[in-house]
Structure 1
């Protein structure tokens, strides 16, 4: 009897203090996101504005959701026109994770203790989140649209810190970020495990005088798959022809 009690005690001591949530599965955007939980908002750094452009919402020209642009970034954004993106060289150019995460496309999560993989349908992008305690590489290491992500658990929240993101889009109306942008996300499952909530915070002092954040929520769907995106650049030619016909 004593040995059984001792064995149970040792097992309890050796067990992890908290079992990490399992984010594995197929996630699709929830169109009933509602307001972000107050405790998640409270964890955002000071001087942060939550911009409301998630899902299918797109800001009109000149609207940046409360982000305060540096003069050079503002001038560049004001000069932007939608037709700028509808060229053979740009129409199939993937955005960075800063913009890609907020869209209406689904993704799959594959989770292990040392690595979490996000497989996005949008532009067939794949993202690795290193959970093995490594640091970010040197500042002069290569940058990419997915960046370099390291993660850790804080209780039931997955915290992902991302740097080394190649310059790309913040909002789809001419506001671009620099290659020095820094992004931090917090992911949390709902109590029933059917919804995944996240805040996405970013800072970019070269472009912004304040910080930005988004609140995004996805619904879990069993038996679904991420399909190939297969962007066809010929769409740019169709767009141009349609524009000529409308003149």
Structure 2
């Protein structure tokens, strides 16, 4: 009887121990399962983040390429470039005419001539003022040293001892005495004064001399 009770008590105790052991095992397995699931979720999130990063880089790539391309010139930069081109062309034209004188033209050979006449160069370097040409101009001031830039249809010089350098004159009229006129190209010269001189660089013009002791010649051909 006593032995039977002891056996029953031992069996109950063993069953209890086994139950506790199984319970502990179940807890451990559940913990491992949760940890594995957590690790899986973290890996999934990392993969999704890497994919999103690659997508962002692919979308940003065209913008980076566009920023690497040279920027289009602004209107002010284009205007500056055009202005530099015009200045270079003007400088080349001046150089081709010996550094002095108007821009060459096909019908004005004097414009491209190199001025070597000493009197011409002396007057050109000593002018008091430079003016723009008008279609009709009259110079009545005595001892007036003037450089006229441009085309004049009719230029009349009535002052005494005037010194003039001019680009182009269609008709030059000299009424004053001791005038000196240096013209790159002129078509017609009318002289009514005394001791005047007209020098040209282009073709020989039509000369009408009604005065005394006047002189006309091509530049560089003085005696």
- Normalised to the residue count of structure 1, the TM-score between the two structures is 0.26
Q: Which has the larger radius of gyration?
A: 2
Identify which of structures 1 and 2 has the higher relative contact order when contacts are C-alpha pairs closer than 8 Å and 6+ apart.
Answer: 1
More helix by share: 2
- Normalised to the residue count of structure 2, the TM-score between the two structures is 0.28
